[in-house]
Structure 1
Amino acid sequence: MMSVKGKVKGLERLHYAYVTKITVEVGKKEEVVFEIPDKILDEINWSPSLNDRVEIEVSKEAGDTDAWNIVMMGEVYLKKEEEKKVIASMGGLQLSIISEKYYPEFKVGDKVYFKLKRI
């Protein structure tokens, strides 16, 4: 399980798809990049800005979801050894974890739960 806190360091609005791509720095040379539909961001009343602080959990079990603003399920479909990058699809939306520490925890085909809350 990956459980980290970090700050938003990149935002890209994908207007053609009504999706926002958010990059969160969670450690030295570690980041989580994910795509969230703008409609979901509106529902939780969050307009992401640079330096916003968030907590992220990525795990193979759903666990307790009540404390989180966003919960999505996906499947790992690619790992890039050189970059220590794990890529999952959450209903077509991308989740990328770039981390030497967490790279070994996930395998292609794993079901994963992505959880996020603002702090």
Structure 2
Amino acid sequence: MRVALHSEIRENAVDSYRERHVRIPHDLVAAFGRLGIHEWTIWRSGRRLFHLVDCDDWDAAAAGLRDEPADQAWQRDIGRFVELFRDADGNEGTAPLELIWDLAAQRDGRP
């Protein structure tokens, strides 16, 4: 499955956030693999970040990350630069954004 997430960087933290993502910790990469996260990309527009995650099951992966020491350490570090996550309605939360349209699905005749 593919999900999109939206977060916002704290004021004046773009450079630090970018530097931390040159290479994320190897133990976090390994945890992603164990939890079925195959790809994660992040784009930025101003202080807004848009994450695209390819995974087996987002809810299961997110639940697994909560108990994962590598992610807990990463969140303590990167969390200094992240203002918050927003859900599809713009409220604070890490629920995936709503998918509006998918070209591949249209081409394949999927809803």
Higher RCO (CA-CA < 8 Å; seq separation 6+): 2
TM-score by length of 1: 0.26
Q: Which has the larger radius of gyration?
A: 2
TM-score by length of 2: 0.27
